[in-house]
A and B are shown apart, each in its own frame.
Chain A
Amino acid sequence: MATAIPIMKPPIATRLVRSRIDRRRATFDRTMRTVAFVAAVVCVVPLAAVIIFVAVNGAPALNLDLLTKAPKALGVGGGAASAILGSLQMIPLAALMAIPIGIAAAVYVSEFGSRRSARIVRFAADVLVGIPSILVGIFVFTLLVLPFHQFNAFAGSVALALLMVPVIMRTAEEILRLIPSSLREASLALGIPMWRTVLSVVLRTGLTGILTGVMLAVARAFGETAPLLFTALGSRLVNVGDFSKPMDSLPIFVYTNARAPITALNQQAWGAALLLLLIVLTINIAVRFRSLRGRVL
């Protein structure tokens, strides 16, 4: 064959010298890195700002009175006991409705449903997560408030449950799909019936992960305001146990007191806001902490 045609190359020393294009690229690189860094900072700053802002304003108002006393019907003074007790009643009831439905739906999708039905349910849950929560409030309003001509705490719980179900369902389903099918086979091969396999092997193995989803859903329910506006409404009265009547809740308390033209009430709003923030942050950090340590299953 013909010998290779020699290619005239410049000497290596020349080729290594930075060209004008290289210098422009280096400048562009530095600029874009800075832009990306600033964007990353912008993501972190709001969280820090909100926490600091609420802590600074809320700390003076977060006292024993706020935690234990009922709001005064008129004038200033009192506390947020109605709101705290309201949240502590409506959220457990909502969880009581949402947890079984969410987990059962996840079990159906991951263990029994066809691939097609699983896709449909998963898609519906994803859309439901993204639906503005005020729409859920209006829906429950027409369903459970209008017919009775009465705002009531039960409707509030139902609205919160509707928001919790897709969160629980999606996390539980993700966890159940992580559980190796070899465990199901091991159980079934021992002559353990399917229902028992699902309960004692599959759900038991995924329990920690499923609890994570439940806790995230609870944290979300604590902070939801919009769906409660049309349902539980809010109340200045301490309502313990009467779900047919309006009931207060922390976010609604913050909302109403923050709008009041009285500084003392605004102060209470800050205090309640800090309490709400602490609750939600505690739940979230606890969940992240656990999943960071790899305790997914």
Chain B
Amino acid sequence: MATTTQPSPTLEPPPMSVSSNDPIAIRSTVPPPSQVVEQSGPASGSIEVAGLNVFYGAFQAINNISLTIRPNAVTAIIGPSGCGKSTFLRTLNRMHELTPTARVEGSIRLDGTDIMAPEVDPVQLRRVVGMVFQRPNPFPTMSILDNVVAGLRLTGRRSQKELDEVAERSLRRAALWDEVKDKLKANGTSLSGGQQQRLCIARALAVDPEVILMDEPASALDPVATLRIEQLMAELRQSYTIVIVTHNMQQAARVSDETAFFTMGEDRAGYLVETGRTIDIFTNPKNQLTEDYVSGRFG
């Protein structure tokens, strides 16, 4: 089912503005230690989901999903409302455990390690698999700077110098540095919606994850802010594994390398219909349901 081909040359990332502050340039000149290691071996951050069932109490939200998520690529999860896209995403860093009735069967392997195993600590897992939410949710009591480094500051002792460095690096990677460098002490909620969302992305990057989960990250934003987020994703995919849930099929087509189409069955449990290269899903789907959905006939 899942294909693990290399990025197709026909699927170039969307055009982006190249400036002297291009985050990629900074990232390539000052790579963090983990990335240096990564370059010598195979790319890390691949996720292999096998036979995943998710239940909320007696209700089955996800039915037997198996899916491979390729590292250093953008994988889009599309499908109609209520088909379990967000639920699926939340199981990937065990955020589903915040719902008391949620229960998971099957396995999710991150670089071969079963993240559901009892010896895996969800708190540690979430530092490796970060998340960006639908609505920008900066911490309202914290400054821009404090928001970015919250994940570091609240998980251990670090020098202010180190925190400042991480903050600048993360804000640059999130393409927000130039807009906020003069007001790092300002409240995080004083930014515009799009800036807040990039602040949340910077915050997720600051803890140095391998995987970034994005749950409709642009659906609360205006078109211009949406475009910036999409450009950002195209840049980030070179260093991170990105999984994005989106309602917006054009967005999925624009930003992703791979697409997985979910829908729900008679019992309202979500299941995987088809997955593959985005270009194939959108231009040459194998399944009639996929074709109907991507051509706008349902959902």
Q: Which residues of A contact B (CB under 8 A)?
A: 114, 180, 182-194, 196-197, 200-201, 204-205, 207, 297
Contacts and interface: CB of A to CB of B under 8 A. Distances in A.
Nearest to A180: B137
Nearest to B203: A190
Nearest to A205: B141
Contacts of A182: 133, 135, 137
Contacts, number: 75
A186 B155 contact: no
A230 B204 CA distance: 57
29 contacts: A180-B137, A182-B137, A183-B139, A184-B98, A185-B131, A186-B133, A186-B139, A186-B200, A187-B154, A188-B123, A189-B126, A189-B131, A190-B150, A190-B151, A190-B154, A190-B203, A191-B125, A191-B127, A191-B128, A191-B207, A192-B123, A192-B150, A196-B154, A197-B154, A200-B154, A204-B141, A205-B139, A207-B141, A297-B140
B130 interface: yes
Given A182-B137, A183-B137, A193-B123, A188 B150 contact: no
Contacts of B123: 188, 191-194
A194 to B, nearest CB: 8
B133 A190 contact: no
B215 to A, nearest CB: 10
A183 B154 CA distance: 14
Contacts of B100: 114
Interface string B126-169: 11101101010111110000000011001100000000000000
B36 interface: no
B278 interface: no
Contact of B98 (A114, A185, A201, A207): A185
Given A114-B100, A185-B98, A189-B204, 5 more contacts: A182-B135, A186-B139, A189-B126, A200-B154, A205-B141
B275 interface: no
Q: What 4 A-B pairs are tightest by C-beta distance, nearest first?
A: A191-B127, A190-B151, A189-B131, A191-B126
A191 B140 contact: no
B130 A186 contact: no
B39 interface: no
B95 interface: yes
Contacts of B151: 190-192
Contact of A193 (B138, B155, B203, B207): B155
B220 to A, nearest CB: 11
Contacts of A185: 95, 98, 131, 133, 137
Interface in B175-218: 200, 203-204, 207
Nearest to B125: A191
Most A CB within 10 A of own CB, among B130, B135, B154:
B154
Contact of A189 (B93, B124, B154, B155): B93
Contacts of A193: 123, 155
Contacts of B127: 190-191
B130 A189 contact: yes
A114 B100 CA distance: 9
A194 B131 CA distance: 16
B174 to A, nearest CB: 14
A105 B139 CA distance: 24
Most A CB within 10 A of own CB, among B100, B133, B140:
B140
Interface in B91-135: 93, 95, 98, 100, 123-128, 130-131, 133, 135
